[in-house]
């Protein structure tokens, strides 16, 4: 989907992008290969600048340098990156003792990266500024649920870390699809299950588990870590579901027509 996206170009919004698609210009390569006269007026006037930016975008993507896409893509459209960089996405979720810092503190940071699997960092053990920054630095993008308002700002304030890659917040993606509610509610709606020992747990219970662990209950920490792991790992299929639905709603029948035309040319 990212290589079909033109809203990353200055002055091109969803309507102009759709006109390009309807004219058969559905990929960056097709744009570069098309004559300017096939473009809508405002695109035609800036064709050379747009072509240069697409060349740069392709180079950055090929080299795994995704930072510029945070600036180029409109708010709410970073989900378009998911398929292209799925092997370099960091899924992130944190547990805390409160809703804001410094009143609350981070207790667990869980993340999943394809090259490392799932990692759980625990306060007082291996949860440090460097460990979090290293996790951020290895990612081409991060995926969270409500992380733009909560997880990432919390970590930035408490640990003085910096996130310099695109941030895909699934909460806003699902809202765009008309699917509202918290992570657990959406999981259930889409048929994702949790283990019996953590089913029904929420943020309030996570705080209680941490307090119990501080009083010496090892089982409480194990349960908290299982809860955080589920938060992190369930975001992987949720991200795929959100991506497929958003792509279908964005391109609609245009993608179906493009796929049909490609199949016809292949058969010929």
Report how many domains make up the chain.
2
Helices (H), the chain: 14-22, 28-33, 41-45, 47-62, 68-72, 129-137, 151-159, 170-176, 183-189, 203-214, 218-251, 253-267
Tokens 């993340």, residue located:
111
Residue 77: inside a domain: no
57 contact partners, CB below 8 Å, separation of at least 6: 8, 28, 68, 69, 72
pLDDT in tens, 182-205: 999 999 999 998 888 898 898 899
Instruction: Give the other-Cβ count within 10 Å of 237's Cβ.
Output: 13
Residue 121: inside a domain: yes
> Cα angle vertex 95, ends 210, 230, to 5°?
100
pLDDT in tens, 43-65: 999 999 999 999 999 999 999 99
223 shares a domain with 158: yes
Residue 170: inside a domain: yes
Domain limits for position 54: 2-63
167 shares a domain with 226: yes
**SS3 category, 144:** strand
Residue 41: inside a domain: yes
93 shares a domain with 54: no
> Where does the pLDDT of residue 266 fall: very low under 50, low under 70, confident under 90, or very high at 90 and above?
very low
Residue 26: inside a domain: yes
Global pTM value? 0.90
| Largest Cα–Cα separation, the chain | 72
97 shares a domain with 221: yes
pLDDT in tens, 113-123: 999 999 999 99
Residue 193, domain CATH: 3.30.420.10
Distance CA 83, CA 177 (A): 18
Residue 134: inside a domain: yes
The overall average pLDDT reported for the chain is 92
User: In whole angstroms, what separates CA 131 from the centre of its chain?
Assistant: 21
Count CA atoms closer than 13 A to 6's CA, side-chain side: 30
Residue 169: inside a domain: yes
| Integer angstrom CA distances of residue 200 from 174, 187, 210, 217, 258 | 21, 12, 17, 20, 44
> Where does the pLDDT of residue 239 fall: very low under 50, low under 70, confident under 90, or very high at 90 and above?
very high
Residue 58: inside a domain: yes
């Amino acid at each position: 989907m990212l290589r079909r996206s033109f809203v990353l170009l200055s002055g091109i919004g969803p309507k102009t992008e759709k006109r390009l698609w309807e004219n058969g210009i559905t990929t960056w390569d097709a744009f570069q290969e098309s004559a300017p006269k096939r473009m809508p007026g405002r695109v035609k006037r800036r064709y050379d600048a747009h072509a240069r930016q697409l060349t740069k975008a392709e180079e950055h993507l090929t080299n795994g340098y995704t930072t510029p896409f945070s600036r180029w893509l409109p708010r709410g459209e970073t989900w378009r990156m998911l398929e292209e960089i799925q092997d370099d996405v960091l899924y992130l979720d944190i547990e805390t003792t409160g809703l804001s810092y410094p009143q609350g503190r981070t207790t667990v940071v869980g993340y999943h990266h394809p090259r490392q699997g799932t990692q759980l960092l625990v306060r007082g053990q291996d949860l440090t500024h460097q460990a979090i920054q290293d996790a951020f630095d290895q990612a081409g993008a991060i995926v969270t649920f409500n992380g733009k308002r909560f997880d990432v700002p919390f970590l930035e304030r408490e640990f003085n870390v910096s996130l310099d890659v695109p941030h895909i917040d699934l909460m806003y993606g699902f809202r765009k699809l008309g699917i509202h509610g918290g992570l657990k509610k959406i999981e259930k709606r889409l048929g994702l299950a949790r283990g019996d020992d953590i089913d029904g747990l929420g943020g309030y219970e996570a705080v209680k588990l941490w307090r119990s662990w501080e009083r010496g209950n090892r089982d409480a920490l194990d349960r908290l870590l299982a809860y955080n792991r589920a938060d992190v790992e369930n975001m992987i299929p949720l991200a795929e579901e959100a991506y497929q639905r958003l792509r279908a709603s964005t391109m609609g029948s245009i993608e179906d027509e493009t796929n049909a035309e490609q199949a016809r040319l292949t058969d010929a």
